[in-house]
Amino acid sequence: MPDPQTYTVGWICAIITELVAAQSFLDEEHDDIQPSVTNDNNTYVRGKIGNHNVVIAILPHGEYGTASAAIVARDMLRSFPNVRIGLMVGIGGGAPSPKHDIRLGDVVVSSRSGDKGGVFQYDFGKTIQSQAFQETGFLNQSPTVLRTAVGVLEAQYEMNGHTLDESIESALKKIKKRKKYSRPPPATDRLYRSDVEHLSSVDNCSEGCGDDATRLVTRDERDEEDDYPVIHYGLIASANQVMKDAITRDKLAAEKGVLCFEMEAAGLMNHFPCIVIRGICDYSDSHKNKEWQGFAAMAAAAYAKDLLLRVAADKVDEMQRAIDKLNLG
């Protein structure tokens, strides 16, 4: 088992589904002996992707949000002080709009948008009478080495397409409960109009909420130039609450350019040099849809691995240790 000092990439998951997906994409998995460091409550999965030693941590069971993510990242850096870059990988709610045809199973990668570094904390700011909400905090953007790799990967995908679907099929062979992580039937991808609310008395949207054209947003089939899943680059909105309001979703998408909603990234960006990668499992509205969580987690993990394979290990070694930025060492 490699020494804890040799791990330079930290990967953080929020839920078990995301951890299973992350493990399935490791090229090799290391022994599960846990480091004995004071004040570290994390349990780790360790392995290798390409030339990178990667350490993976998950938030405590049943705990979510920016604070929990920050604590997990801080403890990871105590046990693995040579971590230089981080990945926050998992599922999120999409914000489809006329400009961005986001669908279930797609991937959103945090990327600079206007004056924002890739993640927007939409519950941290102030509301002034007769004026729009104003954010009062600013979050760091991802490390340069990751942003550069994202650009190279985007160009490669445009030139040659990607093979993420094939990578997912290969990784599924490592998972016993592979049905949970496989792509659901296309018919289960329903985008309801913003004014159609979920009926709380029913679990199945197709039966209770309806699937006729008056209630659903009509979308064209994707053409032969579109890879599956489609990768989107832009702003990810983060807060200590689940976004289940289509009206607010559309407002933030229109005003801020938000592509995706999640609950952890804002707790990391100023303390853990990372990029955020989210597979889309729902549409951030009131309608229930857990069918896509497994596949969305696999899609995000597949992209994360592809990204790491474009990052040179020696470039990561040259970077400042994340722990030195926090003065925890």
CATH number, domain containing residue 24: 3.40.50.1580
Our count of domains for the chain comes to 1
Name the residue with higher pLDDT: 140 or 287.
140
| pLDDT at residue 202, as a whole number | 56
- Spell out the residues 6+ positions from residue 190 whose beta carbon is closer than 8 angstroms to its own: 205, 206, 211, 216, 287, 289
Q: Which pTM value belongs to this model?
A: 0.92
Asked whether residue 283 carries a pLDDT value surpassing 80, the answer given is: yes
User: pLDDT digits over 47-100, tens only?
Assistant: 999 999 999 999 999 888 889 999 999 999 999 999 999 999 999 999 999 999
pLDDT of residue 72: 95
State residue 319's pLDDT score: 94
Q: How does residue 308 score in pLDDT terms, banded at 50, 70 and 90?
A: very high
- Average of per-residue pLDDT values in the chain: 88
pLDDT reported for residue 196: 76
pLDDT of residue 214: 67
- The pLDDT of residue 260 is 96
Domain of residue 86 covers: 4-326
- The tens digit of pLDDT for each residue in 4-19 reads 999 999 999 999 999 9
* pLDDT level of residue 181 (50, 70, 90 thresholds): very high
**What pLDDT, on a 0 to 100 scale, did the predictor assign at position 126?**
43
Q: Binning pLDDT at 50, 70 and 90, where does residue 131 land?
A: very low
Residue 208 pLDDT > 60: no
Query: pLDDT by residue (tens digit) across 216-234?
Result: 888 888 887 788 899 999 9
Q: Measured between alpha carbons, how far is residue 155 from residues 117, 158, 259 in Å?
A: 20, 5, 20
